[in-house]
Amino acid sequence: MEHWTLDDIAWERFDRSKLDPKLVNIVKAACMVEHHGGDYGSYLCSIFRDDPEFCEAAVSWAEEEIQHGKVLRRYAELADPDFDFDESFSRFVRGHQLPLDAKESVRGSLCGELVARCIVESGTSSYYSALRDATDEPVFKEICRRVAADEFRHYKLFYTHMKRYREREKLSKWSRARVAFGRLAESSDDELAYAYYCSSDDPLPYDRRRCVRAYAGQTLPLYRFGHVERGFGMVLKAIGIEPQRWFGRRLTKLAWWFLRYRARQLAHIPA
Helix (H, G, I), strand (E, B) or coil at 81: coil
Do 262 and 187 contact (CB within 8 A), yes or no? no
Question: Contacts with Fe ion: how many residues (CB under 5 A)?
Answer: 6
- Smallest gap from residue 255 Cβ to Fe ion (A): 20
Binding map of Fe ion across residues 70-99, x = CB under 5 A, - = no contact? ------------------------------
Residue 129, phi-psi category: left (phi > 0), alpha (psi -120 to 50), beta (remainder):
alpha
* Residue 220 DSSP symbol: G
Cβ proximity to Fe ion: between 195 and 266 the closer is: 195
- Smallest gap from residue 40 Cβ to Fe ion (A): 9
Do 267 and 221 contact (CB within 8 A), yes or no? yes
Which of the stretches 33-41, 137-145, 195-203, 261-269 binds Fe ion when contact is defined by CB under 5 A? 33-41
Residue 147, Cα to own-chain centre: how many angstroms? 11
CB within 8 Å of 163: residues ≥ 6 apart: none
Cβ proximity to Fe ion: between 31 and 236 the closer is: 31
CB within 8 Å of 134: residues ≥ 6 apart: 20, 23, 222
Of 177-206, which residues contact Fe ion (CB under 5 A)?
none
Compute the distance between CA of residue 21 and CA of residue 69 in angstroms, rounded to an integer. Answer: 19
Compute the distance between CA of residue 60 and CA of residue 234 in angstroms, rounded to an integer. Answer: 22
Which of the stretches 2-10, 63-71, 208-216, 250-258 binds Fe ion when contact is defined by CB under 5 A? 63-71
- Smallest gap from residue 115 Cβ to Fe ion (A): 15
Do 130 and 222 contact (CB within 8 A), yes or no? yes
Compute the distance between CA of residue 199 and CA of residue 12 in angstroms, rounded to an integer. Answer: 25
Cβ proximity to Fe ion: between 137 and 151 the closer is: 151
Do 115 and 226 contact (CB within 8 A), yes or no? no
- Smallest gap from residue 240 Cβ to Fe ion (A): 22
Of 114-143, which residues contact Fe ion (CB under 5 A)?
121
Cβ proximity to Fe ion: between 183 and 213 the closer is: 183
Which residue in 28, 35, 146, 154 binds Fe ion (CB under 5 A)? 154
Cβ proximity to Fe ion: between 154 and 183 the closer is: 154
Which of the stretches 11-19, 64-72, 232-240, 250-258 binds Fe ion when contact is defined by CB under 5 A? 64-72
Cβ proximity to Fe ion: between 161 and 213 the closer is: 161
- Smallest gap from residue 33 Cβ to Fe ion (A): 8
Which residue in 113, 137, 142, 151 binds Fe ion (CB under 5 A)? 151
Helix (H, G, I), strand (E, B) or coil at 265: helix
- Smallest gap from residue 20 Cβ to Fe ion (A): 21
CB within 8 Å of 262: residues ≥ 6 apart: 216, 220
Site of interaction with Fe ion (CB under 5 A): 34, 65, 68, 121, 151, 154
